[in-house]
Structure 1
């Protein structure tokens, strides 16, 4: 058996990013992935929207097979009467449709501010979060530079950033815009993959974190990779292999070996032991601490915090096989299509989910992959992220059936006749996503993105700087700072923290 000095558990984007950076610094790295293919939960998303530019540049993903079918995909906010609104360019740089002139001007101003605020805050995503403790050794120069950049925006922008940072998306949009379709599409984006509605407190900050990422070097752009989001994981795996990383798929880790209160390796599901002086877990912190280590090796307080970490998934994934391409009343089938009639519609879809129920009119993001790449069998595919879906309903089968019926009814309202085209349907509820990916609660971000679970509070107070609770163990998943999405930032930051630790 070859000797490795680092074992990375999980070949998701964060695990591969960490492995690549460590290998580039001379480490001998083995990545173990329980699934048959790399990529982890990236395939839950349709589009690349916040890839860390450091990861994209260092891994040179285009040289390893990553191609963009669309590197700046337009979004069409659908209307049931065909009077759609099209947002072209990064974060709706241009609007096409029936939008009042005052809304166009107001949105141009708000859009510029949001991107500016996200860019100012983005260095926080690219560093180990500070500790709130005396003599913590925080990077004061870097923190001061972030503060200076914020101040240099000008007094008005500086005050505005402070005002909106902890507010909710609904109020932010309602203060400045009147177009229901525009507000609906933006509210959908701001809450995508989260357990919060537009009216939820502190829903602006996660949106700014999302907007800090890039696609093909463009902030706020949406990218559709050739071959879907699975192609992003494949390209990252190839880049890591070219750097000398060894990747083993279908190698599920059942336990982290702890000897002398130190992590010394892992045990696979089949009983095989692999040892290394450093173990990096890119799995959700809950899974790492409670399942792979267990309460025996961590203190009671940390065990309690791990059990109480909020990880509720609110998004379902719908796959349909269709006899022909549906017509969404003239909308471009190559666009990203959004059903969210208004910001109120997004909130109303979230309300029943709080009580374990399914919404009657879910909101959704729709992509028609076969409009870009025809399928060999001639069939058409529709993929949708549906919000919101209960993660723990009292009757799972009944909830899935009700959710599917609501989805088809909603799709039929925007594309007449679509339900009659369906040959096969698969709906993955949050609990199905948890069973497939191991993400607790089916939560995309391996732990909710909320103010009390961000920065130095992510994943838990006292455990936010990637170093695990026992020597030799490091945490590098989306459950760590700065959070989820398809960025790779947490893994890259964790590798940097390991380098600094020596």
Structure 2
């Protein structure tokens, strides 16, 4: 009976997810709007909601058949629903969550606790299983786990957590506001320069929050993460596990300068009022996009799928006047916002003769290098880890709900994976983050089965000799990954009943992620804050009047956060108010 009920719940959820992932309107867009948004990723959808709230009739035009961009759910293997690209929620800004009433619009989250599991490859002692590290919200339990490797590390771990929380909280004001308006402060009439000084407020607020911690913050965002972790800890499994948050999605190693900021980016989230928490969205990450789209539609926004924009429409006065669809249809508007990457926006969708040459040169220099391959797998049973054997009843253990870190025995293992990836060949022992969301969410897979997501580094965009990936290469790398998993959980490979392999070029093709980069551009210090995506348009406004960017390629960067869409919408509303 329980299995039958679960199956009914599962099928109902799949049908509901499929229906809700498409646009609010099935007919074609109208010919005139106040605002048109290119791309139905989460930032574009958030921007549409706030523009509509601000009184602008807004349309979202999504190229694919499904909304969400990289935050999307799809049934790519019959009976199994996957978060095809992004796969965890934490960074979505709380005020957006509340303003748009996302719970009312169907957003449900399964909280994870514990949240990180690192099994080791080693011989057990005295017949016991190999050791592992399990971390969650309970500091006492964390200390007990860490104590298996180092009593010293166990003792200082609470101080490390508190230290990171202080630094993370201090940058929240920067996330919810555009960067400092340097040009406004330094140029133009005195009245406007004084007004532009208001843009300093978030920076000052962050500085005051940091206080005496400013030197620590500076070190964290500029130093190699291994330098920071070595100061705190001595045990390799703990250092390697913590280092993964500094590397995830970034083409850097633990010894790369600036890797600390990526770590901070992954600990500054909040979910259900719990700081630093991560969770699974019911029905997959498309549930986030679906709830935002529902909120925007309830406010009056028009949202369309299978509507591909071919070009931004530039008027005789040099300003944006709307878009031209791939079929030649024109949709006119006062402003255009692009949720696409800066490269797609300014090199593919914008007429090149409308942009200054120095701006095009700057756009060409943005780094989109991605080391990520995403593999989505359907299995007919739970993996059985040597370090945490499954009980006889086959029920999931606490570790199954976690981000499972494989090949994280030491920082050197991560360094070796990085070095290999830089030689234009996939790592032979890659860094693997494995999640099994169906352990908490019964809507994703049939009873007894599960969906597994692998986020894997390091894989190059081009293979040796500048060769493109072919199916044989994908299969070979997937087998490398599955063989590695089998070392930790024998029999995993035999449980696979379907898979999808998305290398960097595949992520680019499917989701419009230039270079396959999940952040719409590297999150390196030269591409953050005042320089994201390039210094001349860090405030969401392009050189073309009326054309804005609102995606993760703008400040504050990647992750399912929503700040870029929120900030861009406020910039548009402010500009139109002054006209």
- Native 8 Å contact 1:90 1:221 kept in 2: no
Which residue is 1:337 aligned to?
404
CA distance in 2, matches of 1:284, 1:278: 18
**Could you tell me which residue of structure 2 aligns to residue 112 of structure 1?**
162
Distance 1:100 1:197, change over 3 A: same
1:21 aligns to what SS in structure 2? helix
Number of the residue aligned with 1:61: 102
Q: CA RMSD in A?
A: 2.0
Which residue is 2:511 aligned to?
A: 437
Give me the whole-angstrom Cα distance separating, in 1, the residues matched to 2:276 and 2:441.
24
Please, which of 24, 46, 51 is the counterpart of residue 17 of structure 1?
46
* Equivalent runs, 1:211-250 vs 2, <5 Å: 211-250=267-306
The 3-state SS of whatever aligns with 1:207 is helix
What is the aligned residue count? 498
Output the CA distance in 1 between the equivalents of 2:531 and 2:306: 33
Counterpart in 2 of 1:27? 56
Query: Using the alignment, how far apart are the partners of 1:360 and 1:88 within structure 2?
Result: 30
Q: Which has the larger radius of gyration?
A: 2
Aligned 8 A contact 1:389 1:403 in 2: no
1:360 aligns with 2:360: no
Counterparts of 1:147 and 1:282, CA distance in 2: 30
Q: Note the C-alpha offset of 1:78.
A: 1.9
User: Aligned in 2, Cα 1:96/1:46: closer, same or farther, shift over 3 Å?
Assistant: farther
Residue by residue over 1:397-425, the C-alpha shift from the partner in whole angstroms, topping out at 9 and shown as x without a partner, is 25423421220121011101211222323
Cα gap change, 1:40/1:73 in structure 2, threshold over 3 Å: closer, same or farther?
farther
Q: TM-score, normalised by structure 1?
A: 0.95
Residue equivalent to 1:87: 135
1:49 aligned to which of 90, 98, 113 = 90
Secondary structure of the equivalent of 2:323? strand
Aligned-pair CA distance for 1:343: 2.1
The within-5 A match list for 1:445-484 is: 445-484=519-558
Asked if the contact 2:245/2:266 (under 8 Å) is kept, the reply is no
User: Which residue of structure 1 lines up, in the alignment, with residue 475 of structure 2?
Assistant: 401
Distance of 1:269 and 1:485 partners within structure 2 = 29
Q: TM-score of the superposition, structure 2-length normalised? A: 0.82
Pairing of 1:72-471 with structure 2 (within 5 A): 74-81=115-122, 82-89=130-137, 94-97=142-145, 98-133=148-183, 134-135=186-187, 137-138=196-197, 139-151=199-211, 155=212, 157-260=213-316, 261-329=318-386, 330=388, 332-339=399-406, 340-374=408-442, 375-376=445-446, 378-393=448-463, 394-395=466-467, 396-397=469-470, 399-471=473-545
Alpha-carbon separation, structure 2, partners of 1:40 and 1:225: 16
Aligned residues of 1:317 and 1:429 also touching (Cα < 8 A): yes
Match of 2:111 among 70, 80, 93: 70
1: CA distance, partners of 2:262 / 2:172: 12
Shift of 1:108: 1.4
Asked if structure 2 preserves the Cα contact closer than 8 Å seen for 1:91 and 1:220, the reply is no
Change (3 A) 1:91 1:257: farther
Show structure 1 runs of 5+ residues with no match.
Answer: none
Are the counterparts in 2 of residues 76 and 86 from structure 1 also a CA contact under 8 Å? yes
The structural deviation recorded for 1:95 is 4.5
CA distance in 2, matches of 1:297, 1:399: 41
CA distance in 2, matches of 1:90, 1:258: 56
SS of residue matched to 1:277: strand
Residue 352 of structure 1 deviates from its aligned partner by: 1.7
Three-state SS of the structure 2 residue aligned to 1:356 is coil
Alpha-carbon shift at residue 336 of structure 1 (Å):
2.4
In structure 2, the CA distance between the partners of 1:95 and 1:434, relative to structure 1 (3 Å rule), is farther
Post-superposition offset of 1:93: 8.4
Residue by residue, what CA displacement relative to the aligned partner does 1:142-193 show, whole Å, maximum 9, x if unpaired?
Answer: 3322222222xxx3x3332233331111111122112222111111112111
Give the Cα separation in 2 of the matches to 1:342 and 1:462. Answer: 41
In the alignment, is the contact (CA less than 8 A) between 1:358 and 1:399 conserved in 2? no
- Tell me whether 88-97 or 441-450 shows the greater mean CA deviation: 88-97
**Cα deviations by residue, 1:23-70 (Å, 9 ceiling, x for unpaired):** 111111101111112111124122112111221111111111111122
CA distance in 2, matches of 1:298, 1:89: 50
**Separation in 1 of the partners of 2:322 and 2:371?**
34
Secondary structure in 1 matching 2:71: helix
The Cα shift of 1:131 comes to 3.8
The answer (yes or no) to whether the contact 1:86–1:95 under 8 Å persists in 2 is no
CA contact under 8 A between 1:334 and 1:368: conserved in structure 2?
yes
Q: CA 1:101/1:91 → structure 2, altered by over 3 Å: closer, same or farther?
A: closer
Structure 2 CA distance for partners of 1:158 and 1:299, relative to 1, 3 Å: closer
Q: CA deviation at 1:270?
A: 2.1
Q: Pick closer, same or farther for the CA change 1:94–1:348 going to 2, 3 Å.
A: same
Cα gap change, 1:140 to 1:461, in 2 (>3 Å): closer
Contact 2:112 2:402 in 1 (8 A): no
Partner-residue secondary structure (3-state), 2:134: strand
